[in-house]
Amino acid sequence: MVSLGFLVFLSAVLIHLCISSNAQPTYRYHICSTAGNYTTGSQYRANFNSLFSSLSSNATLHNVFYNATAGQNSDQVYAIYLCRGDASPDVCRDCVSASSQEILLRCPNQKEAIIWFDECMFRYSNRSIFATMEDTPFGFLKNPNNYSDPVQFKQIREDLLERLVTKAISDSSTGMFATRETNFSGNLKIYGMVQCTPDISLSDCNICLRGSVAEIPNCCEGKKGARVLKPSCNIRYESFPFIEQKATAPASPTISDREDMTSLDASIQRRCFSWKVALTMMTRREMGYDRHSGDGKGNDVPYHPI
């Protein structure tokens, strides 16, 4: 028989692990391009390595968005990162560092790839990807839980997303990032966020965001939470607060919100492990790693399983 004391001890350890690793960036989705491959010993890979290490170390300096390139001619590598508009410099740096390592594990020899974490997006290519609006390839994430009143929910969600898009494109000084919460019913709220890479124009941001909003009915109608992830922009709404409040502490989610959060984070236990190997293996299995490479053109990118 396992003693009560041992269970208490184990819980304490698990809680400690979960809390202390909370700051760990969380992988969500990636797409490896099929445009072409490089070899491990190539100049392309060497350029890639030097670019990634300087991007990671510069992430705090440049914060939210950065583009950089390394090498020349056919070996030139271009890379972009975009941290969430509410990410602190430390969170941004950790995410850029984690995503640039993770992308190598998931797309080990592709000349072009893109990866999304909760806290940032990272992409690289052998062609110039700067200051160009790209809305393919893309991915979805959705909360499996449904709203009990989908008709009312749809109206409120549409209104929320419309206001968010308008806010993001109305003022370039906000970095094309907007957040908002709206009352749903009772004390339930819907929380939303939209963001473009700030290297594109406001009108391209508008096109990218509206295209993403238009995907929601196709992928995620009635769902309690969803994200559309595109190279130049992303949108997200949830039934729990997920935006970092810079001044005040975030409200604690209610019990039912937590349930949503747990199912959205299909792999929430991942946060409670610090072993890189376990993490990578579990993530690959849970996220259907092998089945989730897109074709780099937006065709046949499956819905995210969670």
Ligand X SMILES: *[C@@H]1O[C@H](CO)[C@@H](O)[C@H](O)[C@H]1NC(C)=O
Least Å from the CB of residue 76 to ligand X:
7
Choose, by CB under 6 A, the member of 15, 19, 131, 268 that binds ligand X. 131
Piece of the chain touching ligand X by CB under 6 A; list 3-11, 114-122, 143-151, 284-292: 143-151
Which residue bears the tokens 């491990």? Answer: 40
Q: Residue 146 or 172: which CB sits closer to ligand X?
A: 146
Residues 19-58 that bind ligand X (CB under 6 A): 35-37, 54-55, 58
Choose, by CB under 6 A, the member of 146, 152, 166, 170 that binds ligand X. 146
Residue type, 240: F
Least Å from the CB of residue 171 to ligand X:
19
Q: How many residues interact with ligand X (rule CB under 6 A)?
A: 23
Residue 258 in the binding site for ligand X (CB under 6 A): no
Least Å from the CB of residue 3 to ligand X:
37
Kind of pairing between the strands at 113-117 and 177-183: unpaired
The residue at minimum Cβ distance from ligand X is: 36
Question: Which pair of structure tokens corresponds to residue 262?
Answer: 């747990």
Residue 168 in the binding site for ligand X (CB under 6 A): no
Site map 191..230 versus ligand X, x via CB under 6 A: --------x-------------------------------
Piece of the chain touching ligand X by CB under 6 A; list 23-31, 126-134, 204-212, 230-238: 126-134
Q: Residue 181 or 244: which CB sits closer to ligand X?
A: 181
Residue 152 in the binding site for ligand X (CB under 6 A): no
Piece of the chain touching ligand X by CB under 6 A; list 88-96, 106-114, 212-220, 276-284: 106-114
Least Å from the CB of residue 110 to ligand X:
6
Least Å from the CB of residue 68 to ligand X:
4
Piece of the chain touching ligand X by CB under 6 A; list 16-24, 67-75, 83-91, 211-219: 67-75
- Sheet (strand 177-183) strand order: 139-142, 226-229, 233-238, 189-196, 177-183
Q: What is the DSSP string of the chain?
A: ---HHHHHHHHHHHHHHHHHTTTS--EEEEEE--S-B--TTSHHHHHHHHHHHHHHHHHHHHTTEEEEEES-GGG-EEEEEEE-TT--HHHHHHHHHHHHHHHHHHSTTBS-EEEEESSEEEEEESS--TT-----S-EEEE-SPBPS-HHHHHHHHHHHHHHHHHHHHH-GGGTTEEEEEEE-STT-EEEEEEEE-TTS-HHHHHHHHHHHHHHHHHHHTTBS-EEEE-SSEEEEEESS--SPPSSSPPPPPPHHHHHHHHHHSTTGGGGG---HHHHHHHHHHHTTGGG----SSSTT-PPP--
Chain contacts with ligand X (rule: CB under 6 A): 35-37, 54-55, 58, 67-69, 74, 108-109, 111, 126-127, 130-131, 144-146, 182-183, 199
